[in-house]
Structure 1
Amino acid sequence: MQKENNLIVNSDQTNLLKELTSSLETCTRFYFSVAFVNFSGLQLLLDALKEAKLRGVEGKVLTSTYLNFTEPKALDKLREFENVDLKVFVTERNIGFHTKAYIFEYEDYFKVMIGSSNITQTALKSNVEWNVEIISKHDTTFIQQVISEFHGLWNRSTIVDDFFLQDYKQFFENINRVASSKSLIYEKAEYIVPNSMQKRAMENLERLRTLGEKKALVIAATGTGKTYMSAFDVKNLKPRKLLFIVHREEILSKAKETYEKLLPNRKIKFGMLTGTRKDFDADYIFATIQTLSRYYQQFDPEEFDYIIYDEAHHATADTYQHVIDYFDPNFMLGMTATPERGDSQSIFEIFDFNVALEVRLHDALDDDIVVPFHYFGITDIDEIDLSDVSVDNLDEITKRLKVNERVDFIIEKMRFYGHDGKTRKCLGFCASKEHARYMAAEFNKRGVHSTYLTGDDSVPVRQACIRELEDETNELEVIFTVDIFNEGVDIPSVNTVLMLRPTNSPIVFIQQLGRGLRKYEDKSFLTVLDFIGNHTKTFLIAIALNGSRYYDKESLKVAISTGFAHLPGATHIQMDKVSQERILAQIDQEKFTSMKYLKEEYFEFKKMNSGRVPDLLMDYYKYYGAPDPVKFIKKEKSYLNFVAKVEKDQQIKQLLANETFEKALKWLSSMLPLKRIYDFVMLNYLLENQSITFNEAKLEILKWIKTVDDVSVDHAMEYLNQNFFDDTQKKRTPKLANLNGERLSKSLTFDELLRNPPYRRYIKDVIEYGMFRYEREFGKEYYGVPHLKLYEQYQMMDAALLSNYRKSHSAFRGSGLLTNGNDYFLYIDLHKEADIKESINYNDKIIDRNHFQWETPNKTSQGTEQGKNIIFNQDRGVNLHLFVRKYREIEKNNVEPYIYIGKGNTISYKNERPIEVQMELENTLPQQLYTELTKKV
């Protein structure tokens, strides 16, 4: 019981929710006194309250009507718990109620948490809150005072009975109706400001325009405000004439309304070009591509200063191409949630490879531009056994899922967890059309008004169904579906998503989850109920939720065991113990780097690619949650080699029979993922030009990053000239460029390869993928020399390239300490044994998030120059760069990369040969990374 008082704040390390749930799991009685309780916060405590009930633990909850913030729905839910006594302090005009206290009783002590947090999702998880935890024996004056005060308030408060609740509900609804009418002021243009995503996009669009670029693409998840972003950019740029083009007429009037709202009093004439309206003389025209494709020649090619293509992934279609080729605007913007590739041309190529911004799901959550989600992973009923069924056998999966007891179980869980808002608006994702039909029929039998939609239904039928779901007065609660709502359908009011099929693709999982994340009036969160069975690929859920491009067994296990604590904001992921253990066991058994696993991953992705062979790396770029194709490269030295092997494709094998082409492809592939972009930018330029000068190279690089130093441009040109290659590297690497003074020219070898269309296609793909992936992971920032980004993954040899090392780069390997001038690169394995069950070698260790302990190489003594440079590094101007990894290998014969944690400065030292050094880190380790590197699972 002896414990210091503890300050509880919401951080990526912990939050009040964790403290409350763990206390509810262990206490013998509890007492809450909080000013506000809303359903968003209560939902996160439901399982802990249920567990307390099963243990026979009783509690009292006291809340208030202060400021009318407590939701009747939350009070209604609390009344379902027979073990909880519920009262409300009814506030008077002159008396406020501000208490935020959580009291837990144990056999011989009390735990009291008093501070700033009410029961709301943000107060429990993400707000800046201070709560002090005090542990004290029963008989202390403090505890007696706290309990006495609680009972005093309790005795002055009102029992929440049917009469009170009905009366408060009616009052609450009336108050909200009045409040919602007042909030209309916020729709005035002067009160609408860009969100963080929109600001970043606008900054990058302006930067590209200053470099003379005339086209750009913005990739952002549905619901992040792309239309508003474009309107803000137009507001700043003030084009004389504008053309806004959409693929679907139903979103055209909304786009026009957005522009009219943000651009009032500008004397702009807004018009439409549709099947029913032809406003040719308008200043700002909003057109459907179908109508525009018939009338575009009535305009002058230079008529419009600014043209915007919404849903730009359709721009590869012929109807779009005719329009794009005809017009010559000052600037052209494309916007899309999914940069899908058409069969003929790359969407990136259409917009001159200029991506102004890319915002995916986790970024959108972090920026608070979609609603948070509360995910509950629920172990399916015992009667459902999918352990021996192939993921492709939909008939058998459907047959086994059609169990009446499962329907009852799903409805029971829906009622237990509830939903945000007054009425449920739910999408249920099923395994097949037959499964969707069955679920709708069974739900209707049980009084839950439902329907189903499949690819067999026409667009008008689907739209009518969606309108019914969105209508507050309609009884429809659930649409069951398969496939058609994975992407491209926007139903903002959806507040519940049911995952009713075994997950076989992280991509599909994220797409389905995303259907409910759109912000909507009075919607504060999305409820996601995932019914997790014993299917052999259940662990894919963890990969999808983790949201990290890099993952291995260890990082996934840590994420699961910490409840995915790294996810931003009020998003909450909770799996029951059985599901957790099942997924952890599968991860332990799976070999993520085996050819068997990689083939399964490849063929699952091929299905996502409409069954077409994804022979290009850029095929993987378009989907959030797609496999990392670099894993395939590592297995077979180039992606094309991997495809040839798994597809047994003779045509590709014949291409690879050209030794020069195969070697060039392997060399380019070996640099992926890029850690600096300069080299590939120059090669990309040489695809279309015979040579590139130093100044041209610098200008091209500045299209991708904010600034670049001359010495690095020089180094990249020399690197492409193979100045730093040893004899072995020169033998196995065709020379693609020749440097003469300040001009880098395309070599004859490169020129010959590019004249062959298939060779050109695959070389261009590697270069394109390398640049776009770099942009996604490094952004536009300049990282200096050495060109190192905090917490990025690196191999030992990367430091040579990134520090402009001017000797053979292949020599930059070997011991755990490599140097280039005053830059010292320290490579450290935290666990010295390959077997991850071995204990940590404590000579090299993370002491805490700000301090690190390291042993120098064995021969280093304090009196040598190297020794002095290490122990007096700050005085001598020596930079100690730290690269760490948890294990050298997690899977056999697969060496793990290092993570750059920044520079450290020596603060103490002892011993000789080796010297033991303690360093202070210049950057505090992020909690997620600290946990991942130190936690044993």
Structure 2
Amino acid sequence: MKLTSTQTKLVSALSNGFVDQRFDGAEELVPRFIYNNKGDSMLMHIERELDCCSSFTFVIAFVTESALAALKVKLADLAAKGIQGRILTSNYLAFNKPKAFQELLKLSKVEVKISNNKAFHAKGYVFDHEMGNYQSVIIGSSNMTSGALLKNYEWNIKFTSHDNGALTEKLISEVEEEWTKAEPLTRHWIEQYRKLYDSVPRQRMDEELEDVSPKYAINKHVIEPNKMQNEALSSLADIRKAGAHRSLIISATGTGKTYLGALDVSQYQPQRFLYIVHREQILNKTMESFKNVLRSDFYNQFQDKYGDQTETKFDEQFGVISGDSKNFKAKYLFATIQTLAKDERLSLLEPTQFDYILIDEVHRAGASSYQKVIKYFQPDFLLGMTATPDRMDGFNLYEMFDYNIAYEIRLQKALDEKMLCPFRYIGITDYQYDGQITDDTSKLKWLVSEERVDYVIKQTKYYGYSGDVLHGLIFCSLSAEAEELADALTRRGYTSKKITGNTPQSERREIVKELENGDINYIVTVDVFNEGVDIPCVNQIVMLRSTQSSIVFIQQLGRGLRKFAGKDYVTVIDFIGNYKNNYLIPIALTGDRSRNKNSARDDLESRQISGLSTVSFSEIAKEKIYQSINNTSLDSLKVLRDDYQNLKNRLGRVPLLVDFQKFGTVDCTVFANRYKNYYQFLVKMKEDVHLTANQEAILSFISIELMNGKRIVELLLLRELIESKGFVKKSDFRKLMRDQSIFYNENVEHSVERVLTLSFFVKASQEKYGDKPLIMIYEGGYQLNEAIQKYLVSQKLFQQLVEDALFAGIMRANRYNVNQQFTLYERYTRKDVCRLLGWEKDVSSTVYGYRIRQNTCPIFVTYAKSGKIDQSINYQDRFINADTFQWFTRHNVKIGSKEVQAILAPQTTIQLFIKKNDDEGSDFYYFGEVKVDKNSLKEESFRVNDTTEPIVKMALHLKRSAQYDKYLLFEK
């Protein structure tokens, strides 16, 4: 029997998976074992199959809202293309929540049925491919729950089969039989099921979150701190023991700062305590939290004395200074800054009256009202708390607290520690009409048009929320927009109220209470709720404005991250228009502050952020962000100046490159790429610095050529030379390399010598770097250039900046495997590769697609060729699967040519480097060593400018299969 082309491919793919991995097999057909390891989650495989299927069927016993929310963007994109699907699920063990079934009904072009098989416990995902008449199937242990798709240790097998294969026939027959017997999912069925669900006791589901927040046990009067609070309390005690009188806590919203403050007050036992906050709205809630913590102290001390009056006496310990409440005599006072800063209020309190003062949202402390109060009081200890310490107003918050940071936990760490509620971020395109879309200049009429409001409601309804009642926050651009949008939503059945800067505090409190009680569905606001508001029930956040800063983005995201009973996740729906700042979105979500475009592009591809939080972009929205990243300057002088000033404020001195590396802010290479060296940036910052031209040339060489850390050896040799006063024995340095397990051999040693003597570089580069070698080479060792030694002794700034660049490079080298020549999936330029391969000269300008030299052949592939690319190099280089890459030589080359024979020679090592497209600059991902499949060699014809020339096609086998998430970068 003659096989079709698809059947032939399937034979190879199945042979690869089940017989011998040396058989070639197309990636989409090769069997895979999936168990949620690094870069290879079940969710990725499902999305990959959805990307290329013609229809799909999910046969799964358990479905949760959270898992479904992670797939809704992909399913919406498929529906827009007309691709249909089916989901067969069950009421087995009454596990599925009724609301999960309601969410299934929202899916467009997806038919849902409920199995009548009482023992239904199937877990399978079937994807049809009409073009090849085959099915892809994933079967194993993964239900459609967040844990099963993202983090749990699951066992699943993905395989493919032709539609007339015995296995497929049996599988599809079983699916169709179950589907025929099943009943359609309807609203009536859900209402009947709800009765069953409510009557059956169930074990705790895997979607429910572990609550690590403090608990108040009323019978014991005890609050147990969580892990973060224990660490912070210990640090605060140590800081005070060292004699400090001020300290700062930096903690993401929702991580328990208020309870931490109360626990430290309990630890400190002040005679009198003052708590200062910006907004009256949270004052009473804060006081109640302090009462929960401090009650046990009071009961232990006074219950025998007061008996039944103990609680009354305890309450008398607390007072509020705000609005009409002016209790100045209580032991524990809680005040708003607006009231406290008034002269007539301050005068009623003595400067030394409080031995402990705590300021919440202390990033506001630069305001005159705060400064007035802070300068007036003289507490023994002052504690500040904030989630966003870095300010753009020039105020140095760190200096105010004597640079004592007791504890710091940012959003991503808090999510990993399960301290916050996971989120489902959904980035979709804003409303479009006749090719127009919301942008930075859109007028009110457009923003609140009937069509846009209808579109917003449609999307918010589709993407939904966790829990039974909608508690939503909508952030928009204008106060007038907030008012009209709230009215428009209310008219459409979503009761909404606006809160703007002009809304009185009393009215704000009432509106928030209405949202908490479920009396209204949405609060529509304009940046008013960025901070200082605690509404844990919020389960949907809608962003109808451009992202102006990462700080504001995280503040608004944080409004929904507090844990709350019945809330498994928070839905964040971001309507992405033609905004110039779209590039900030992936940067904010990942916490990336490197100012590196390659990192920003990687951020955009991040699917799973931290813990169980996920990010989904519609295809159009993702393209808009990608364009924004390409079109913006992440390393503009203004951006770098702000980062520099923030770090300078934090340190209380001029920051060095190692400080940026240590605190995870600007990547040190950004300064080198933009200014050649950090000295030039300090000049831009108007710091009092001066280097000679020769000194700067040396610093530029280290910064540009070595500081990227892609090979640590040169950095370590220069460091050793400086520390040993200018001379290092070769034998000692070789031993150092061995002891630290660093990749080092004769080739590397010779390469390092050529680099540090500048022999490796072209003439223009040698002149740029001073045209003098950095080291002198002797038979037994290395000596530092005499001029450099003198500079190091005579010019303190030069010494500091050189050592800083070296140590920053050594720190950056931590991202690379120093015991290997190259690190998988890190990026390298052609010049980097020439250096790391140990070539005699930098020939990067003539390497182009590949170059054979010294028994090595690096291959550089631009995967998506530009439309403007020369026809003569527009080859169809592509992945066949995660193990095999199809590659073409340059044109006018035959199999028998010297060039091809050199590639095929057994002594030639071939290394594969790939980049997505030319927008990504000159850096290529390293995919590892490859071997040529000689059976795949084929000489083909290539037409260039009406001339036919020979070209050689071959399959390259990767020594190590491409990591699935990296493979998908190119194959989506």
- Asked whether the two chains share a fold, i.e. TM above 0.5, the reply is yes
- Once the two structures are superposed, what CA deviation does each residue of 1:794-820 show, in whole Å capped at 9, x if it has no partner? 9xxxxxxxxxxxxxxxxxxx99999xx
Q: Note if 1:349 corresponds to 2:425.
A: no
Give me the whole-angstrom Cα distance separating, in 2, the residues matched to 1:367 and 1:116: 26
Give me the whole-angstrom Cα distance separating, in 2, the residues matched to 1:79 and 1:342: 47
Query: Which amino acid in 2 is paired with 1:201?
Result: A
Given candidates 584, 605, 609, the residue that maps to 1:540 is: 584
Aligned 8 A contact 1:663 1:732 in 2: no
Q: Note if 1:528 corresponds to 2:572.
A: yes
Q: Secondary structure at the match of 1:557?
A: helix
Aligned 8 A contact 1:507 1:625 in 2: no
Deviation at 1:450, TM superposition (A): 2.4
Deviation at 1:478, TM superposition (A): 2.4
- For residues 916-931 of structure 1, the aligned pairs below 5 Å read none
Give me the whole-angstrom Cα distance separating, in 2, the residues matched to 1:418 and 1:241: 50
Give me the whole-angstrom Cα distance separating, in 2, the residues matched to 1:101 and 1:342: 52
- 2:559 matched to which residue of 1? 515
- 1:126 matched to which residue of 2? 151
> Using a 3 Å threshold, how does the CA distance of structure 1 residues 174 and 734 change in structure 2: closer, same or farther?
farther
Deviation at 1:523, TM superposition (A): 1.4
- 1:216 matched to which residue of 2? 247
- 1:72 matched to which residue of 2? 98
- 1:100 matched to which residue of 2? 123
> Using a 3 Å threshold, how does the CA distance of structure 1 residues 319 and 86 change in structure 2: closer, same or farther?
same
Q: Secondary structure at the match of 2:529?
A: coil
- For residues 391-790 of structure 1, the aligned pairs below 5 Å read 391=440, 397-398=443-444, 400-472=446-518, 474=519, 476-560=520-604, 562=605, 564-565=606-607, 567-590=609-632, 592-593=634-635, 597-599=636-638, 601=639, 727=787, 790=814
- 1:321 matched to which residue of 2? 374
Aligned 8 A contact 1:617 1:639 in 2: no
Give me the whole-angstrom Cα distance separating, in 1, the residues matched to 2:200 and 2:585: 41
Give me the whole-angstrom Cα distance separating, in 1, the residues matched to 2:548 and 2:395: 29
- 2:422 matched to which residue of 1? 372
Aligned 8 A contact 1:246 1:252 in 2: no
Given candidates 134, 137, 140, the residue that maps to 1:115 is: 140
Deviation at 1:827, TM superposition (A): 9.8
> Using a 3 Å threshold, how does the CA distance of structure 1 residues 382 and 161 change in structure 2: closer, same or farther?
closer
Q: Secondary structure at the match of 1:790?
A: helix
Give me the whole-angstrom Cα distance separating, in 1, the residues matched to 2:481 and 2:523: 12
- Once the two structures are superposed, what CA deviation does each residue of 1:857-880 show, in whole Å capped at 9, x if it has no partner? xxxxxxxxxxxxxxxxxxxxxxxx
- The TM-score, its normalising length taken from structure 2, stands at 0.61
Query: Which amino acid in 2 is paired with 1:450?
Result: S
- Once the two structures are superposed, what CA deviation does each residue of 1:340-384 show, in whole Å capped at 9, x if it has no partner? 569896332333312122222222222222222222222234438
- 1:805 matched to which residue of 2? none
Aligned 8 A contact 1:219 1:339 in 2: yes
Given candidates 172, 179, 186, the residue that maps to 1:161 is: 186
Query: Which amino acid in 1 is paired with 2:350?
Result: Q
Aligned 8 A contact 1:222 1:490 in 2: no
Given candidates 14, 17, 20, the residue that maps to 2:43 is: 17
Q: Secondary structure at the match of 2:561?
A: coil
Identity %: 29
Give me the whole-angstrom Cα distance separating, in 1, the residues matched to 2:59 and 2:965: 36
> Using a 3 Å threshold, how does the CA distance of structure 1 residues 671 and 325 change in structure 2: closer, same or farther?
farther
Give me the whole-angstrom Cα distance separating, in 2, the residues matched to 1:261 and 1:112: 59
**Structure 1 residue runs without a partner (length 5+):** 610-614, 646-651, 677-722, 740-749, 751-762, 764-769, 779-784, 795-813, 819-824, 850-883, 905-920
Given candidates 297, 313, 319, the residue that maps to 2:350 is: 297
Q: Secondary structure at the match of 1:274?
A: strand
> Using a 3 Å threshold, how does the CA distance of structure 1 residues 345 and 502 change in structure 2: closer, same or farther?
closer
- 1:255 matched to which residue of 2? 289
- RMSD of equivalent CA atoms: 6.0
- Once the two structures are superposed, what CA deviation does each residue of 1:184-219 show, in whole Å capped at 9, x if it has no partner? 999455997654533543454455466565543220
Q: Secondary structure at the match of 2:87?
A: strand
Aligned 8 A contact 1:110 1:143 in 2: yes
Aligned 8 A contact 1:374 1:572 in 2: yes
Give me the whole-angstrom Cα distance separating, in 1, the residues matched to 2:642 and 2:506: 31
- 2:161 matched to which residue of 1? 136
Q: Secondary structure at the match of 2:814?
A: coil
Q: Secondary structure at the match of 1:369?
A: coil
Query: Which amino acid in 1 is paired with 2:514?
Result: E
- Once the two structures are superposed, what CA deviation does each residue of 1:534-585 show, in whole Å capped at 9, x if it has no partner? 344433334333431224333333443x3x1362222222222223333334
Give me the whole-angstrom Cα distance separating, in 2, the residues matched to 1:544 and 1:840: 40
> Using a 3 Å threshold, how does the CA distance of structure 1 residues 488 and 731 change in structure 2: closer, same or farther?
farther
Deviation at 1:222, TM superposition (A): 0.8
- 1:695 matched to which residue of 2? none
> Using a 3 Å threshold, how does the CA distance of structure 1 residues 604 and 80 change in structure 2: closer, same or farther?
same
Give me the whole-angstrom Cα distance separating, in 1, the residues matched to 2:353 and 2:448: 60
Give me the whole-angstrom Cα distance separating, in 2, the residues matched to 1:388 and 1:31: 36
Q: Note if 1:246 corresponds to 2:269.
A: no
Aligned 8 A contact 2:850 2:857 in 1: no
- 2:34 matched to which residue of 1? 8
- 2:69 matched to which residue of 1? 43
Q: Note if 1:338 corresponds to 2:382.
A: no
Deviation at 1:334, TM superposition (A): 2.9
Aligned 8 A contact 1:384 1:401 in 2: no
Give me the whole-angstrom Cα distance separating, in 2, the residues matched to 1:537 and 1:519: 30
Query: Which amino acid in 1 is paired with 2:190?
Result: L
Deviation at 1:70, TM superposition (A): 0.9
Aligned 8 A contact 2:422 2:613 in 1: yes
> Using a 3 Å threshold, how does the CA distance of structure 1 residues 737 and 522 change in structure 2: closer, same or farther?
same
Give me the whole-angstrom Cα distance separating, in 2, the residues matched to 1:498 and 1:97: 38
> Using a 3 Å threshold, how does the CA distance of structure 1 residues 584 and 339 change in structure 2: closer, same or farther?
closer
Give me the whole-angstrom Cα distance separating, in 1, the residues matched to 2:384 and 2:58: 52
Q: Secondary structure at the match of 2:474?
A: strand
Query: Which amino acid in 1 is paired with 2:568?
Result: S
- 2:320 matched to which residue of 1? 274
Given candidates 46, 62, 67, the residue that maps to 2:88 is: 62
Query: Which amino acid in 2 is paired with 1:531?
Result: F
> Using a 3 Å threshold, how does the CA distance of structure 1 residues 30 and 340 change in structure 2: closer, same or farther?
closer
> Using a 3 Å threshold, how does the CA distance of structure 1 residues 159 and 930 change in structure 2: closer, same or farther?
closer
**Structure 2 residue runs without a partner (length 5+):** 1-9, 18-30, 304-313, 648-652, 710-782, 819-830, 861-880, 883-911, 929-958
Aligned 8 A contact 2:262 2:290 in 1: no
Query: Which amino acid in 2 is paired with 1:414?
Result: T
**How many residue pairs align between the two structures?**
732
Deviation at 1:22, TM superposition (A): 2.9
Query: Which amino acid in 2 is paired with 1:565?
Result: R
- 1:312 matched to which residue of 2? 362
Give me the whole-angstrom Cα distance separating, in 2, the residues matched to 1:260 and 1:542: 41
Query: Which amino acid in 1 is paired with 2:564?
Result: Y
Deviation at 1:835, TM superposition (A): 10
Aligned 8 A contact 1:497 1:529 in 2: yes
> Using a 3 Å threshold, how does the CA distance of structure 1 residues 102 and 629 change in structure 2: closer, same or farther?
closer
Deviation at 1:220, TM superposition (A): 1.0
Query: Which amino acid in 2 is paired with 1:579?
Result: A
Deviation at 1:263, TM superposition (A): 6.7
Q: Note if 1:360 corresponds to 2:410.
A: yes
Q: Secondary structure at the match of 2:433?
A: coil
